[in-house]
Amino acid sequence: MITYLRGTLRRLHRDGLKVMVETSDGVGYEVLLPFFVKRALEEEGRDGQPVEFEVYYYQTERHPVPLLIGFLREHEKTFFERLLAVEDIGPSKAANALVLSVSTIAQAIEDGDTAQLRKLPGIGARTAEKVVATLRGKMVEWALLQDERYDSVPSKPREAHSELAESVVEALVGLGYRRPEARAKVDAAIDRSPDVTDEQALIREVFRTERKS
């Protein structure tokens, strides 16, 4: 099991949350980064530079391909692991939802602020209530962190859906749409339904609007 990675950050694209880390032995590892981690790396200009990640490793019979989720600090990883205790929140969903800093989300949980939690990608009203019911009273140490305090969701929430969006764009191109048209339709669908978390749901949202027009 991989719990830590140190190497060179070889790919850090603005569209997408996955990066490649090349270790000293020449092996490249694909790592999924929560949005707030990726934002911190971009602000520091770390592409092509040494990097160290605390890693959450996920692999099951239903998910045989290992998923590595990277964090810059141990407390970010432990906070992420606490989120996984909430019913219906798995590793990918939790990683995609983390567009705000740990302290901001933890404070929202402690305050029972479901409106703030619903702003996170993939977190609807019922899930927000489950998060508060499961974790309220257990987040104080993270709420008090003096980390980079991001209090608002990025102005373009679809950035956190980039891999999902790209998959659906390719599907639409395969159906005969021109790529710019497909991209516009997918971006519009995500803007209308920022809670969408899977490919089929996003495709249905695209064609729901198509039928109306």
Per-residue pLDDT reduced to its tens digit, 136-191:
999 999 998 877 655 555 544 445 566 678 788 888 888 888 888 888 888 788 77
Range(s) of the chain covered by CATH 2.40.50.140 = 1-154
pLDDT band at residue 54 using 50, 70 and 90 as cut-offs: very high
Residue the block writes with tokens 């508060």: 132
**C-alpha–C-alpha distance, residues 204 and 198, integer Å:** 10
Mean pLDDT of 89-112: 90
pLDDT band at residue 129 using 50, 70 and 90 as cut-offs: very high
Give the pLDDT score at 204: 86
Give the pLDDT score at 156: 45
The larger pLDDT score, comparing residue 188 to residue 211, is at 188
Neighbours of 64 (CB within 10 A): 7
Q: Structure tokens of 171?
A: 């599907």
Give the pLDDT score at 93: 87
Mean pLDDT of 108-126: 90
Mean per-residue pLDDT of the chain: 84
| E strands in the chain | 4-11, 18-22, 28-32, 50-58, 67-71
Neighbours of 207 (CB within 10 A): 12
- The predicted-structure confidence for 57-97, as pLDDT tens digits, reads as follows 998 888 888 899 999 999 999 999 999 999 989 898 898 88
CATH architecture of 157-212: Orthogonal Bundle (1.10)
CATH fold for the domain made of 1-154? OB fold (Dihydrolipoamide Acetyltransferase, E2P) (2.40.50)
Range(s) of the chain covered by CATH 1.10.8 = 157-212
Neighbours of 91 (CB within 10 A): 20
Please list the residues that pair with 205 across neighbouring strands: none
Give the pLDDT score at 31: 93
Give this prediction's pTM.
Answer: 0.68
Residue 41 has pLDDT above 90, yes or no: no
